Amino acid sequence: MKPAFPTVVLASVLALAGSATRAADNPREKNPSPPASLASDEFDAPQLGAHWQWQGSPRVEWASLAAKPGSLRLFAWSSATLDDAPNLLLQKFATPGFTVTTQLDARGLDQSSVGANAGLVIFGADYAWIGLTRTAEGFRVEQIVNVHAAKDGAESVAATGPVLPRAIVTLRVTVDAAGQCQFAFSAEGETFTALGGKFPAAIGRGGGAKVGLFARSAPILGAPEFGHVEFDWFRVTR
């Protein structure tokens, strides 16, 4: 059973979607308008900027900018891989040679089952992400890769980090001029620890590699869509 969303949340998500229709009959249809250049976002505006692009046509159940003003709330939906998930919020690379840092609060995934996760993703024909996964012991930092994702590849754990005392973490990916991506995390937001090896960004279906955010409930057939996370900001430095 899907969760009930307050009217204020639904209204804000309609703003997120802009003029796009829900297109529930074809959720993987790409947005027709080209995105703007890669840009930072403090999530303090009433709607997302043109630099953001959903993996599929926007739906009201995916996100809210009003549920917690100054943060982006993403609702967790089930998918076996992120390649199957239309609710990825992405930006296209402008040029390689940049760093993206974001702060994730995953405490809302306590409503979801073990295996739910959220984080920062580099997405293309292959993808990799760093984030928090809900385990029986608590929220663990993980770095996950999916090679040949566009050809039904499966996710594998590249590296595991600690179980954090609280479900709040700062995530970072640095993309060098050759498109090699290094993930890192910080429990306190200051000192970063690299996790996993370098991942080569791959061109995706839309013609370029992308970086973005996601939230996912447990990847189990028939799993309910519930739980949420909040991203406080998304900052791009060069």
Domain spans in the chain, listed from the N-terminal domain onward: 7-22+36-237
The 3-state secondary structure of 11-74 reads HHHHHHHCCCCCCCCCCCCCCCCCCCCCCCECCCCCCCCCCCEECCCCCCCCEECCCCCCCEEE
Distance of alpha carbon 215 from alpha carbon 206, whole angstroms: 21
DSSP state of 223: -
The pLDDT, as a whole number, for residue 191 is 97
Among 102, 92, 40, smallest CA distance to 204 is for: 92
The pLDDT, as a whole number, for residue 37 is 78
Reported as a single tens digit per residue, the pLDDT across 38-97 is 999 999 999 999 999 999 998 888 999 999 999 999 999 888 899 989 999 999 987 779
140 forms beta bridges with 133, 163
Distance of alpha carbon 54 from alpha carbon 39, whole angstroms: 15
The pLDDT, as a whole number, for residue 200 is 94
Tell me what percent of the chain is helix, strand and coil, each rounded to the nearest 5: 10, 40, 50
| Whole-structure pTM value | 0.84
Q: Mean pLDDT of all residues in the chain? A: 83
The pLDDT, as a whole number, for residue 189 is 92
The pLDDT, as a whole number, for residue 131 is 98
- Domain 7-22+36-237: top CATH class: mainly beta
Judge whether residue 163 has pLDDT over 60: yes
Judge whether residue 21 has pLDDT over 50: no
Least confident of 7-16, 27-36, 173-182, 186-195: 7-16
The pLDDT, as a whole number, for residue 203 is 78
Number of H-type helices and E-type strands within the chain: 1, 16
